[in-house]
Amino acid sequence: MTRAWLTIALTLAPLAATAGGPLGEVFCDDRARIVQQLETRFGATLAGRALRGPDAFIEFWVTQASGDWTMVQNYTDGRACIVAMGENWESFAPVDPA
């Protein structure tokens, strides 16, 4: 996982934006470029998506072989930011509310 994070960070470093607060650094770029890197360099696939508000949505990208995951916040202007990464992703079947 650390290697994947370092590779993404170095790939996007020229366009990185430093954010204050508990996340430390947030890497932002054009959404298409981030998606291309996640898919081609890391073999990640989109595992889920949710609205965060009227101007943003969150996606979770997962590399099934390693269990690594990446959380990407996307904005309506086409920009996206990697806001968190981790390992040991687990998928669950939907719970039947009945």
Model pTM score: 0.73
Domain that holds residue 42: 2-86
- Our CA dihedral for 17, 75, 55, 19, rounded to 10 degrees, sits at -10
- The pLDDT profile of the chain, 98 residues, written as one tens digit per residue, is 555 554 555 455 444 444 444 445 678 999 999 999 999 999 999 999 999 999 999 999 999 999 999 999 999 999 999 999 999 999 888 888 77
CA atoms within 13 A on the CB side of 9: 13
Inside any domain, residue 9: yes
Distance between CA atoms of residues 33 and 40, nearest Å? 10
Phi, psi (rounded to 5 degrees) for 85: -145, 155
Distance between CA atoms of residues 45 and 64, nearest Å? 8
Inside any domain, residue 95: no
Inside any domain, residue 96: no
